[in-house]
Structure 1
Amino acid sequence: MSISHKDLHSKYTLGGLLISLGIIYGDIGTSPLYVMKAIIGDKIITTDLVLGGLSCIFWTLTLQTTLKYVIITLNADNHGEGGIFSLYSLVKKTKIKWLIVPAIIGGSLLLAEGIITPPISVSAAVEGLLIFNPDIPTIPIVIIIIFLLFVIQQFGAKIVSRFFSPIMLVWFSMLGVLGVLQIYKNIFILKAINPYYAYNLLTSDASGHGFLILGAVFLCTTGAESLYSDMGHCGRRNIRISWIFVKSMLLLNYFGQGAFLLLNEGSTLTHLGSSNPNPFYLIMASWFQPIGIVVATLAAIIASQALISGSFTLINEAMRLNFWPKFKVIYPTDVKGQLYIPSINWLLFFGCIGIILHFKESKNMEHAYGLSIILGMMMTTTLLNFYFIMKRVKLYYMVPLIALYFIIESSFLAANITKFYDGGYVTLLVAFCMISVMTIWYFAKKISKSYTKIVNLKDYIKVLLELSDDLAIPKYATHLIYMTNAGKADEIEEKVMYSILRKRPKRADIYWFIHVNILNEPYKTEYRVTEIAEKTIFRIDFNLGFREPTKINLMFKEVITNMVKNGEVDVTSRYESLNKNNIIGDFKFVLSEKYLSNDSDLTFFEKVIMNSYFFIKKLTLSEESAFNLDIGSVRVEKFPMVLHAPENIGLTRIYSKKQEI
């Protein structure tokens, strides 16, 4: 870990604590808008229900969010960064191949969360307007807010993010004050800290309905996975310290809602004299409700912004790790790590609109929310187990811990699985689509790599040098550049040599081979130059972190500039008239675009994967755009991909008899 990463995670500042409020806690911080409402539902308010629900919330936030994520999982940082793909990049060193499965599933489920969080958070906040007029059409208002939220993504969040932290500070302070005012009226509510009340509620009904309350309780910890993903923005220590404040304010508000509900024991939410029976708004004084609605809506927008930005980061990591097709990535500001992916932005937008139009109200969206998130948490737990093994954590510490979370998360899964037909299938369907794309892309790349023939570059040095001096062949370019996936400096794909020597011989003064190596750490920009033949054949290896942009055009120019300064290469044109005037020679990139050859003999699995791969590829970024190359200096050549080509068809020659003349 570099010094900067150590500083990031060991130091804490007032500014860092405030930033963490605006970036980290949006999702989990807006959960009071709907958790208690989901727990009570249309049931009669009873002491056992309220105290049991609050006890479940307290211990869920303590065991699941605080212990698992804030204390334990935040230690699993990859050079300062967190998130399921960062964790996978760490445990990948164990060489256990099937760990790709929980990584892909977990990443897909986190993307599904990015589609459900904006609708449920914004809807729950805006529905506070129904207090004043039950006929207000909230759906158009929610859609407009969501639309504006996605429109501003292209400009970056640098300007508006300055207001995130102060707004979230006001939000959490408001949660705490509202809670304290209600707890003061009924201090008896603090008994809910006793885990007995949680146990009593979960086992109170022989039919299992008490246990199913966990499905609603789980909504209080839905932002924990995002908390881990955003670790690199604020630092571990800032998150841990700020969480003390955040958790305190959340619990005060939950207990305040519980105290209010106990004062109305025997009633139902619909009988509390409000057109929007949400305990969150019912605990407010009538004069404060308009202010509360505005602050809640702003907090919901910030929570949505955090999930959208997190989705961009997640997709960018997936692209770099070859889990996702290449799409255009824009860096709207100079803030490191801030990016914008237009196609994903609008995919998320239409997904959010679909959720809003399908479920209409936040209470209906609650059913779709928990199932995908608990499955994602279980994937993180799986990878975390192998992280412990890799770090040689003592068995007496690791086994009980993993067993504890297996029990907790299995219980949450069992409670949430009952919501499948009530809406849980929607987010799982979204996640399944994501999983399918990632699986197809991963296996297609793996199949392609296994059938790529690699040759020894040393065997071709002599012919390349002779080609470079062969004046009988028209010069193709002064500098000819090929991208290569070959990992070693003395290796090259056979198709590259085929392109240079046989698919119209390409004479050049200098041949360049560029390899991009994606590292398991997030941020690094290094390169190595290997001179294969003096002043004529070079190979450049770029070692880039999986969060670094692949700007080959700019990076290659920087390398050339440094080499010229060091006298390692002469880039001036070899044409006599241009050379006299020190004119730089032309540079030409040649990229190969693969297509599936009709000569391939595929298995059923390979046929499904490869046909799906090439179909998806038509919708994605071109190779030159993916490498950020200047289109004017790029030539793309079609190259057939032949899988399982038959070596011998078995033709039989027929000899004709000689005819007498």
Structure 2
Amino acid sequence: MKATKLQDNHKLSLAGLLISLGIIFGDIGTSPLYVVKAIFNKGIIEKDLILGSLSCVFWTLTLQTTIKYVWITLNADNKGEGGILSLYSLVRKKAKWLIIPAIIGGSTLLADGMITPAITISSAIEGLAINNPTTPTTPIVIIIISILFLIQRFGTSIVGRIFGPLMLIWFTMIGVLGFLYVKEVPSIFQAINPYYAISTIISHPNALFLIGAIFLCTTGAEALYSDMGHCGKANIRISWIYVKIALILNYFGQGAWLLKHAGTAIGEQNPFYAIMPPSFVVYGVAIATIAAVIASQAMISGSFTLISEAVRLNIWPKVTIRYPSDHKGQLYVPSINLILYIGCMLIIAVFEKSSNMEAAYGLAINMTFIMTTILMCFFLARVHVPKIWIIIFALFYFTIEFSFLLGNFVKIEHGGWLTLLLASVLFIVMFSWHSARKIKNRYVRFVNIKSYFPMISELSEDTSVPLFASHLVYLTSANNKDEIESKIIYSIINKKPKRADVYWLVHVDVMDNPHTKEYIVEQLIPNKLIRIDFKLGFREEQRISLLFRKVVEDMVSKGEIDITSKYNTLRKHKIAGDFNFVVLEKTLTPTSDIRWHEKIILDIYKLLKRFSLSEEKGFGLDSSFVTLERVPLNIPDTKEVVLHRLDKPV
């Protein structure tokens, strides 16, 4: 039923087109607020630069956004879902090292989520200074961003319903304003000729800086792919036609205004507001602010979704994820909300004005574009696209994106260092968490569970051993049903024998599909040892306690298991036996076989563990039914110990 609803939402419809306008195109749709201003950077307005830069903008939107993302990348949908981690889930079996571009892409996308609210809302609010130059815009920006992050905990589904109509007003407004200027200077359409773009890039003395500024026109393309699950590729592709026309008209309208003022210094003027009639500026600022808030909201929501996927894929520490409303896909991650807010405030404190933020913007998201291209090459191979086309795709887009990266590198000394630093910190967190788990898994030893069947069966009936629980549940990482971690056997038999009427083994397999919710039950020892394998999509909440209870209820209703307590009094009244989850917290003892860089990773992992959820909370277990046991994964070999025994005391 849910799958049918999802498919219905993805069908081409007026509602789907409106949702696309409200959620998908917020970031790229607000780029006209600052792109042209960033290109001219307070300098002299030159005619050749006007045509050249507009030509670059037109062809960047065409090649990068339209062809790469809207036409090609949207085909890489994972059961209707998009985004770099969804793409990684489709290709991760191709090569283990693909986790690196996935982590880089995820961390740079999060860093972009910190600067997007700051630059878009600042650019919008600064329009107030046109009629009132003394207006302090920075405090207003801080207040708006603070309110935006504050309301996240309450859910935004109600606000989300009006995003589409509001963004329709926005795109219509920027398209009409641009058209009014374009019709006065129709010669501006010469810029469609790619000659002007190529000539400007080759001959302009500040070509690298120019490339970095032009890149800002397509920064929302990755968000366009990430949010595909909200409305489907058909609605995105059709609505993009309207969005692109509106964007091109506005960019060319700003270009027409620049042609009229060629030879003068642009100074602090923003061509976006300059093409508005003076009496309309106040309304324009209001609509721009609303559009900027919507773009910021889309980026924040996208960051929450990204982190929830990263947690399930074990590349981010387990954190609290809340569902503030019944609206599909509505997430709230308190820790990420705080991190993004602090990042926004830091960017505002360092740069203050949008013109300064432009120097830092683009570098991080440029890295995401490159990582997406790498993963897309493997996806195209997966769907059997001929190798020659994959090579052409790779060469073409690597050339474009590395050229943009070269231009964005110029921004490092002008503020790009901050977003690069933020992205690096996020990368270290993701890489350390993922790598530490791999290091720990290296020391996990598995044994053949079948050889323990007789002992487990006898222990269950051995009344000389106190009953630990009627039902004893262990979480196992063993993919093979015939294997089990040696530490679980140690916990049941050796550490302190644990008698139970029934032993349960629960295994969670994170699937490549986003919304899979399946399970398999196998009675390894009938009514004594039962294994449940949950197959959950990477976007599904891992509420193991609730899912386990549902499975047990289904088994009871089908007569597959009797969970009535074996205590005489309780059995007489048909009271169910108690359930106890045993969670094994695996620890590593520092030894010489752990390399120096692995020790650093493990130290970072220990630090992150302090801020992450415990194992039982991470799996949604009720702590009142959980026993936590610390077990060492590696015990130093006594063969290495040199010790001499004395016959008599000295």
**TM-score bracket for the superposition, by shorter chain length:** over 0.9
Matches within 5 A, 1:479-498: 479-498=471-490
The answer to whether residue 535 in structure 2 is matched with residue 506 in structure 1 is no
The answer to whether residue 178 in structure 2 is matched with residue 179 in structure 1 is yes
Judge which range, 169-178 or 129-138, deviates more. Answer: 129-138
CA contact (8 A) 1:120 1:366 kept: yes
Cα deviation for residue 7 of structure 1 reads: 4.0
Q: 1:316: which partner in 2?
A: 308
Could you tell me which amino acid in structure 2 is paired with residue 562 of structure 1?
A: D
Match of 2:363, SS?
helix
Q: 1:228: which partner in 2?
A: 225
Match of 1:646 among 615, 631, 637: 637
Q: 2:406: which partner in 1?
A: 414
Q: Give the Cα–Cα distance (whole angstroms) in 2 for the partners of residues 450 and 601 of structure 1.
A: 12
Cα deviation for residue 42 of structure 1 reads: 2.0
Cα deviation for residue 599 of structure 1 reads: 5.8
The answer to whether residue 119 in structure 2 is matched with residue 120 in structure 1 is yes
* Structure 1 residues 321 and 86: alpha-carbon distance in aligned structure 2, compared to 1, 3 A threshold: same
Cα deviation 1:451-471 (Å, max 9, x = unaligned): 101111111111111111111
Q: 2:584: which partner in 1?
A: 592
Match of 1:134, SS?
coil
CA contact (8 A) 1:323 1:439 kept: yes
Q: Give the Cα–Cα distance (whole angstroms) in 1 for the partners of residues 190 and 264 of structure 2.
A: 21
CA contact (8 A) 1:600 1:642 kept: no
Cα deviation 1:197-240 (Å, max 9, x = unaligned): 112221223xx413531111110000001101111111011000
Q: Give the Cα–Cα distance (whole angstroms) in 1 for the partners of residues 514 and 99 of structure 2.
A: 18
Match of 2:416 among 424, 442, 447: 424
CA contact (8 A) 1:150 1:345 kept: yes
Could you tell me which amino acid in structure 1 is paired with residue 421 of structure 2?
A: L
Q: Give the Cα–Cα distance (whole angstroms) in 2 for the partners of residues 211 and 504 of structure 1.
A: 68
Q: Give the Cα–Cα distance (whole angstroms) in 2 for the partners of residues 650 and 216 of structure 1.
A: 63
Q: 2:88: which partner in 1?
A: 88
Could you tell me which amino acid in structure 1 is paired with residue 259 of structure 2?
A: L
Query: Structure 1, unaligned stretches of length 5 or more?
Result: 271-275
* Structure 1 residues 658 and 239: alpha-carbon distance in aligned structure 2, compared to 1, 3 A threshold: closer
Match of 1:133, SS?
coil
Q: 1:329: which partner in 2?
A: 321
* Structure 1 residues 211 and 351: alpha-carbon distance in aligned structure 2, compared to 1, 3 A threshold: closer
Q: 1:656: which partner in 2?
A: 647
Could you tell me which amino acid in structure 2 is paired with residue 66 of structure 1?
A: T
Match of 1:446 among 438, 444, 468: 438
The answer to whether residue 533 in structure 2 is matched with residue 541 in structure 1 is yes
Match of 2:496, SS?
coil
The answer to whether residue 507 in structure 2 is matched with residue 515 in structure 1 is yes
Q: 1:478: which partner in 2?
A: 470
* Structure 1 residues 599 and 394: alpha-carbon distance in aligned structure 2, compared to 1, 3 A threshold: closer
Q: Give the Cα–Cα distance (whole angstroms) in 2 for the partners of residues 572 and 469 of structure 1.
A: 16
The answer to whether residue 40 in structure 2 is matched with residue 48 in structure 1 is no
CA contact (8 A) 1:5 1:79 kept: no
CA contact (8 A) 1:9 1:237 kept: no
* Structure 1 residues 112 and 658: alpha-carbon distance in aligned structure 2, compared to 1, 3 A threshold: closer
Q: 2:371: which partner in 1?
A: 379
Q: Give the Cα–Cα distance (whole angstroms) in 1 for the partners of residues 638 and 191 of structure 2.
A: 74
* Structure 1 residues 423 and 599: alpha-carbon distance in aligned structure 2, compared to 1, 3 A threshold: closer
CA contact (8 A) 2:208 2:410 kept: no
Could you tell me which amino acid in structure 1 is paired with residue 329 of structure 2?
A: G
CA contact (8 A) 1:594 1:638 kept: yes
Q: 1:556: which partner in 2?
A: 548
Matches within 5 A, 1:58-457: 58-94=58-94, 96-205=95-204, 208-270=205-267, 277-457=269-449
Q: Give the Cα–Cα distance (whole angstroms) in 1 for the partners of residues 84 and 445 of structure 2.
A: 33
Could you tell me which amino acid in structure 2 is paired with residue 514 of structure 1?
A: V
Cα deviation for residue 187 of structure 1 reads: 1.1
Cα deviation 1:621-653 (Å, max 9, x = unaligned): 01111011111111111112327x335124354
Q: Give the Cα–Cα distance (whole angstroms) in 1 for the partners of residues 538 and 255 of structure 2.
A: 46
Match of 1:481, SS?
strand
Cα deviation for residue 10 of structure 1 reads: 7.2
CA contact (8 A) 2:65 2:218 kept: yes
CA contact (8 A) 2:209 2:411 kept: no
CA contact (8 A) 1:444 1:609 kept: yes
CA contact (8 A) 2:9 2:16 kept: no
Q: Give the Cα–Cα distance (whole angstroms) in 2 for the partners of residues 30 and 228 of structure 1.
A: 17
Cα deviation for residue 375 of structure 1 reads: 1.3
Q: Give the Cα–Cα distance (whole angstroms) in 2 for the partners of residues 434 and 8 of structure 1.
A: 36
Q: Give the Cα–Cα distance (whole angstroms) in 2 for the partners of residues 656 and 25 of structure 1.
A: 82
Match of 2:157, SS?
coil
Query: Structure 2, unaligned stretches of length 5 or more?
Result: none
Cα deviation for residue 338 of structure 1 reads: 1.7
Q: Give the Cα–Cα distance (whole angstroms) in 2 for the partners of residues 249 and 536 of structure 1.
A: 67
* Structure 1 residues 52 and 531: alpha-carbon distance in aligned structure 2, compared to 1, 3 A threshold: same
Match of 2:361, SS?
helix
Q: Give the Cα–Cα distance (whole angstroms) in 1 for the partners of residues 511 and 98 of structure 2.
A: 17
TM-score (norm 1): 0.96
Cα deviation for residue 256 of structure 1 reads: 0.6
Cα deviation for residue 3 of structure 1 reads: 7.1
CA contact (8 A) 1:8 1:236 kept: no
* Structure 1 residues 171 and 653: alpha-carbon distance in aligned structure 2, compared to 1, 3 A threshold: same
Q: Give the Cα–Cα distance (whole angstroms) in 2 for the partners of residues 328 and 3 of structure 1.
A: 26
Cα deviation for residue 395 of structure 1 reads: 2.9
Match of 1:78, SS?
coil
Cα deviation 1:510-531 (Å, max 9, x = unaligned): 1111000000111110000010
In percent, how many aligned pairs have the same letter?
Answer: 53
Cα deviation 1:302-322 (Å, max 9, x = unaligned): 000000010011111111111
Q: 1:273: which partner in 2?
A: none
Q: Give the Cα–Cα distance (whole angstroms) in 1 for the partners of residues 524 and 397 of structure 2.
A: 54
Q: Give the Cα–Cα distance (whole angstroms) in 1 for the partners of residues 144 and 174 of structure 2.
A: 23
Pairs aligned (count): 649
RMSD between aligned alpha carbons? 1.7
Cα deviation for residue 657 of structure 1 reads: 7.5
Match of 1:540, SS?
strand
TM-score (norm 2): 0.97
Q: Give the Cα–Cα distance (whole angstroms) in 2 for the partners of residues 14 and 334 of structure 1.
A: 23
Could you tell me which amino acid in structure 2 is paired with residue 77 of structure 1?
A: D
Cα deviation for residue 161 of structure 1 reads: 0.4
CA contact (8 A) 1:201 1:211 kept: no
Could you tell me which amino acid in structure 2 is paired with residue 356 of structure 1?
A: I
